[in-house]
Chain A
Amino acid sequence: MSTALWQFPGGLVLPAHKAGSTAAPAQAAPIPDRLTVPIAEHPGEAAEVLVTPGDTVRTGQLIAHPKGQRGAAVHAPASGRVAAVEERRVPHPSGLAAPCVVIDSDGEDRWVEPAAPLSDVATTDPASLIRRIRDCGIVGLGGATFPTAEKLESAPPATGIEMLILNGAECEPYISCDNRLMRERPGAVIDGAWILMRVLMAPRCLIGVEDNKPEAIAALEAAVAEAGFEGVGVVTVPTRYPVGGEKQLVYTLTGKVIPSGALPAAVGVISQNVATAAAVHDAVRGGRPLIERYVTVTGPGVAQPRNVVARLGTPIEALIRLCGGYAENASRLIMGGPMMGFAIDDDTVPIVKGSNCLLVGTAETFPPPQQALPCIRCGACADACPVALLPQQLYWHARAGELDRACEYHLDDCIECGICGYVCPSHIPLVQYFLYAKSEIAAREQQRRQAELARTRYEQRQQRLERDRLERASARQRKKAVLQHKSRSTEQKKAEIQAALERARRKKSDTPGSGGRSDKR
């Protein structure tokens, strides 16, 4: 399908390095003996674990339900026995530990009774579909792991959603899991798109795929033709990093610019990754929760680069072993791609819902970072920035700790794509500065909120104390008034007694009757 395309600012054509891992079909990874399943993809989330050590679980059984925003249901990726519920190291840039459910597989992969398939999507209530998607723990599989149900509910009811966009661009070098998925399960992707369109009542769906994946495009087009779905189109987009960024892809396909700080729903669009669509298909048509995903295992440091379909919780080293193990000169392990991924120093950590790629570099291809030189303000970063930021100015202010100035230069709009650091002739790790500044701002914001809360509490307490004081004071006043009244009356009584005594005395000395009369008033 050919449509007019728009060109987002900046961007770069990067060497793809995808051929190595796309040649062979994805291989199903065997279930490992032990799986470590984080109960929340984002550290710090509260979670409700539904199993205790010693419990037997079946594949697909609900084992945890994180509470609060951004939480998603977690299911047992294999049957077996719960060995532990404790903090374990998880793949995260911080290298921190997070609560995990550790399952010892019984090797039998016995499933729970899956939820009933919702085969008649056209007549099923969208709310039930969203509930199914939530119950199956579906999150965005492009890497951000935003809960899909939450995203679908972000559609403004008033204006509605005109278009669903499926993101099959997969623009970052080395990563090819979506490519293999689109080639191997095009029907699931298209059907997932169809279901999402029903949920959103969106009349149209565009699937954006970079032009370096002709086989995937052909497979999707064939699947669309076969299914005969109306309003679904496969669009070839030029290979240009980061065309797979949400804002960039929406703009490329529709010409609509998502405003700063807003969700795509603000312009009547919702985008989902192709793998998410396939997972939605599995959840709705088969009642299958999200327990496995396509993972690219690649890089010059892996003996046989390829894609694998692995159960979540499988340790990284098991997948590397499946792909022939590390090459002799392997030097570093990256989760994600070379532009946005992060280094992992422990290959026993598991793959999680957001793990799209395991990249093993060698010293030649991924040399240690070069000594950063001073910024000469050449502006190469600004030319390449896909959000039209001025990274050189942001760097200047981030480095000086001038967070307000960095915000004025729209730090919040940075998508952390890493292009600026890639083109920098002085090898300045710009994104690292921006990540730092962003986290500082977040921390400051939290501190501000807490201070605000404390201040409100203090003010309320002061008001309460003041009110109490006033109340006490007025009570005292009343009491005093009563007392005063009382004391006055005693004096009066004394006076009266005195007067009576006086009268009695006078009576004794004076003639009776004359003085007593005049005294009484």
Chain B
Amino acid sequence: MMREVLLALVPGIAAATAFFGIGVLVNLTLAAAAAVGSEALMLRLRRRPVGLFLGDYSALVTAALLALALPPLIPWWVTALGAAFAIVFGKHLYGGLGYNPFNPAMVGYVVLLISFPKEMTLWQAPAGVADGPVPALAAMTRIFTGHFPAGMSVDAISMATPLDAVKTQLGMARTLPEIQAGPLFGALAGRGWQWINLLFLGGGLWLLGRRIIGWRIPVGLLGGLAVVAFVFWASDPDLHPGPLFYLLSGGTMLGAFFIATDPVSAATTPRGRLIYGLGIGVLIYVIRAWGGYPDGIAFAVLLMNMAAPLIDSYTAPRVFGG
């Protein structure tokens, strides 16, 4: 099951690598190594059968989801720390697989975002915009030494994400048509980001088709986000980006099909899952539109994780004959 989830991530990973460079793959490798290492260590400490539990691939999925949420030029130790934190604190200290109330990958992500805001918000231009991502060698240098090669500065290569750009430029009293005429934006949403999101959507649909995940959480999430976005966009298209922009920006599709669908930390009743997804979708909009953070997936997921037990207890299905 988890193996199929990893497989479904591949197209999106390929797109992310194409647009943001080798850093994506390096992050994935680092996170995987740190997560599997921490998992093995914790299983040993907790005297659980290491081989049996490593075989479920859940640590790898956590690592992949965290790594894909990180900016591609982040120093190696940040990635490793996040993955280790996710596994040790987000998962095993709660009792391991099946017992964690929060999505471990998002726990790791939020800890990094709060602890290292500078590193966590350093994004660069996607391929096809300005100079595109830095070359592979420069990326490796930055990841493993923390510095760019001589002649390259953070300011020169950093570039706001489309979500960020919209937020800051709206704050500077520009209208959306003006903002979206900029080089960062493509036909549907941000350049690069739109393709990454579409490919994660494709992988997610494949998982749906294979019944690895259910439809309720993704539909709830995307529906909630789209409806709220539509209402504001319809009220003033100059000040509020449309639903399509929100759906294809940042980590929306990764969140909808891969992160929010983690069954352990989600609601489990059928109606509960729809509500859980809806809640995440609405919170994503709230955080993106009015919050202080560039994207809202992680906080939205964690907040709804907290609400999941409550949702479950209010949405238990009517028993046959009850």
Tell me which residues across on chain A come within 8 A of B312, comparing CB atoms.
390, 393
Q: Is the CB of A373 within 8 A of B319?
A: no
Q: Is the CB of A374 within 8 A of B99?
A: yes
Contacts A374-B99, A376-B98 hold; do A413 and B321 have CB atoms under 8 A apart? yes
Q: Is B266 part of the binding interface, using a Cβ–Cβ cutoff of 8 Å?
A: yes
User: What 1/0 flags go to A372-387 for Cβ under 8 Å of B?
Assistant: 0111111100110011
Tell me which residues across on chain B come within 8 A of A379, comparing CB atoms.
214, 263, 268-270, 273
In-complex Cβ contact of B98 among A258, A375, A386, A388 (8 A): A375
Q: Is A257 part of the binding interface, using a Cβ–Cβ cutoff of 8 Å?
A: yes
Contacts A257-B320, A387-B320, A390-B316 hold; do A373 and B268 have CB atoms under 8 A apart? no
Q: Which residue of B lies closest to A259 (CB)?
A: B321
A499 to B56, CA, bound (A): 115
User: What 1/0 flags go to A79-94 for Cβ under 8 Å of B?
Assistant: 0000000000000000
Tell me which residues across on chain B come within 8 A of A393, comparing CB atoms.
268, 312, 316
Q: How distant is B304 from chain A, measured CB to nearest CB, in Å? A: 14
Q: Is the CB of B319 within 8 A of A388?
A: yes
Q: Is B208 part of the binding interface, using a Cβ–Cβ cutoff of 8 Å?
A: no
Q: Is the CB of B263 within 8 A of A378?
A: yes
- Give the one of B49, B97, B214, B320 with max A CB within 10 A: B320
A410 to B321, CA, bound (A): 10
Tell me which residues across on chain B come within 8 A of A251, comparing CB atoms.
320
Residues of chain A in range 386-421 having any CB-CB distance to chain B below 8 Å: 386-390, 392-393, 409-410, 413
Tell me which residues across on chain B come within 8 A of A392, comparing CB atoms.
268
Q: Is A156 part of the binding interface, using a Cβ–Cβ cutoff of 8 Å?
A: no
Q: Is the CB of A377 within 8 A of B317?
A: no
Q: Is the CB of B319 within 8 A of A377?
A: no
Tell me which residues across on chain B come within 8 A of A8, comparing CB atoms.
320
Q: Is B151 part of the binding interface, using a Cβ–Cβ cutoff of 8 Å?
A: no
Q: Is the CB of A413 within 8 A of B319?
A: yes
Q: Is the CB of A376 within 8 A of B97?
A: yes
Q: How distant is A47 from chain B, measured CB to nearest CB, in Å? A: 33
A373 to B52, CA, bound (A): 9
Tell me which residues across on chain B come within 8 A of A375, comparing CB atoms.
98
Q: Is A247 part of the binding interface, using a Cβ–Cβ cutoff of 8 Å?
A: yes
Contacts A388-B319, A410-B322, A413-B319 hold; do A377 and B268 have CB atoms under 8 A apart? yes
A430 to B270, CA, bound (A): 20
Q: Is B264 part of the binding interface, using a Cβ–Cβ cutoff of 8 Å?
A: yes
Q: Is the CB of A377 within 8 A of B321?
A: no
Q: How distant is B271 from chain A, measured CB to nearest CB, in Å? A: 11
In-complex Cβ contact of B96 among A259, A374, A413 (8 A): A374
Q: Which residue of A lies closest to B95 (CB)?
A: A374
Q: Is the CB of A377 within 8 A of B320?
A: no
Q: Is the CB of A247 within 8 A of B321?
A: yes
Residues of chain B in range 29-67 having any CB-CB distance to chain A below 8 Å: 49, 52-53, 56
Tell me which residues across on chain B come within 8 A of A388, comparing CB atoms.
317-320, 322
Q: Is A231 part of the binding interface, using a Cβ–Cβ cutoff of 8 Å?
A: no
A8 to B263, CA, bound (A): 25
Tell me which residues across on chain B come within 8 A of A260, comparing CB atoms.
319, 321-322
Q: Is the CB of B98 within 8 A of A247?
A: no
Q: Is the CB of B52 within 8 A of A413?
A: no
Q: Is B1 part of the binding interface, using a Cβ–Cβ cutoff of 8 Å?
A: yes
A247 to B268, CA, bound (A): 25
Q: Is the CB of B269 within 8 A of A382?
A: yes
Q: How distant is A421 from chain B, measured CB to nearest CB, in Å? A: 16
In-complex Cβ contact of B97 among A257, A371, A373, A390 (8 A): A373
User: What 1/0 flags go to B266-294 for Cβ under 8 Å of A?
Assistant: 10111001000000000000000000000
A376 to B91, CA, bound (A): 12
Q: Is the CB of A413 within 8 A of B98?
A: no
Q: Is the CB of A390 within 8 A of B317?
A: yes
Contacts A374-B97, A382-B269, A392-B268 hold; do A409 and B316 have CB atoms under 8 A apart? yes
A376 to B56, CA, bound (A): 11
Q: Is A20 part of the binding interface, using a Cβ–Cβ cutoff of 8 Å?
A: no
Tell me which residues across on chain B come within 8 A of A43, comparing CB atoms.
none
Tell me which residues across on chain A come within 8 A of B263, comparing CB atoms.
376-379
A383 to B211, CA, bound (A): 12
Tell me which residues across on chain A come within 8 A of B317, comparing CB atoms.
382, 388, 390
User: What 1/0 flags go to A181-218 for Cβ under 8 Å of B?
Assistant: 00000000000000000000000000000000000000
Tell me which residues across on chain B come within 8 A of A53, comparing CB atoms.
none
Q: Is A30 part of the binding interface, using a Cβ–Cβ cutoff of 8 Å?
A: no
Q: Which residue of B lies closest to A425 (CB)?
A: B1
Tell me which residues across on chain A come within 8 A of B56, comparing CB atoms.
373
A377 to B270, CA, bound (A): 12
Q: Is the CB of B269 within 8 A of A390?
A: yes
Tell me which residues across on chain B come within 8 A of A378, comparing CB atoms.
263
A377 to B265, CA, bound (A): 8
Q: Which residue of B lies closest to A426 (CB)?
A: B98
Tell me which residues across on chain A come within 8 A of B273, comparing CB atoms.
379
Q: How distant is B307 from chain A, measured CB to nearest CB, in Å? A: 15
Q: Is A54 part of the binding interface, using a Cβ–Cβ cutoff of 8 Å?
A: no
Q: How distant is A453 from chain B, measured CB to nearest CB, in Å? A: 31
A81 to B312, CA, bound (A): 63
Contacts A373-B97, A374-B98, A425-B1 hold; do A258 and B321 have CB atoms under 8 A apart? yes
User: What 1/0 flags go to A346-387 for Cβ under 8 Å of B?
Assistant: 000000000000000000000000010111111100110011
A103 to B122, CA, bound (A): 88
Q: Is A9 part of the binding interface, using a Cβ–Cβ cutoff of 8 Å?
A: yes
Q: How distant is B311 from chain A, measured CB to nearest CB, in Å? A: 13
A377 to B53, CA, bound (A): 16
Q: How distant is B284 from chain A, measured CB to nearest CB, in Å? A: 23
Q: How distant is A404 from chain B, measured CB to nearest CB, in Å? A: 14
Q: Is the CB of B269 within 8 A of A377?
A: no
Q: Which residue of B lies closest to A371 (CB)?
A: B52
A426 to B316, CA, bound (A): 22
Residues of chain A in range 434-481 having any CB-CB distance to chain B below 8 Å: none
Q: Is the CB of A376 within 8 A of B264?
A: yes
Tell me which residues across on chain A come within 8 A of B52, comparing CB atoms.
371, 373
Q: How distant is B43 from chain A, measured CB to nearest CB, in Å? A: 12
Tell me which residues across on chain A come within 8 A of B97, comparing CB atoms.
373-374, 376
A287 to B101, CA, bound (A): 64
A382 to B1, CA, bound (A): 18
Q: How distant is B156 from chain A, measured CB to nearest CB, in Å? A: 46
Q: How distant is A374 from chain B, measured CB to nearest CB, in Å? A: 3
Q: How distant is B233 from chain A, measured CB to nearest CB, in Å? A: 34
Q: How distant is B57 from chain A, measured CB to nearest CB, in Å? A: 12
Tell me which residues across on chain A come within 8 A of B318, comparing CB atoms.
388
A425 to B4, CA, bound (A): 14
A257 to B320, CA, bound (A): 7
Contacts A376-B263, A377-B263, A379-B214 hold; do A389 and B319 have CB atoms under 8 A apart? yes
Q: Is the CB of B264 within 8 A of A247?
A: no
A392 to B321, CA, bound (A): 19
Tell me which residues across on chain B come within 8 A of A409, comparing CB atoms.
316
A390 to B269, CA, bound (A): 8
- Give the one of B53, B98, B273, B318 with max A CB within 10 A: B98
Please list 15 pairs of residues, one from A and one from B, whose beta carbons are closer than 8 Å in the complex, sorted by A's number. Answer: A247-B321, A251-B320, A258-B321, A259-B321, A371-B52, A373-B53, A373-B56, A373-B97, A375-B98, A376-B98, A377-B98, A387-B319, A389-B319, A390-B312, A390-B316
Nearest 4 CB-CB pairs, A to B?
A374-B98, A378-B263, A387-B320, A410-B319
Q: A382-B268, A413-B322 are known contacts; what are 14 more A-B pairs with Cβ within 8 Å?
A: A247-B320, A257-B320, A260-B322, A373-B53, A376-B263, A377-B98, A377-B264, A377-B266, A377-B268, A379-B270, A386-B320, A393-B312, A393-B316, A413-B320
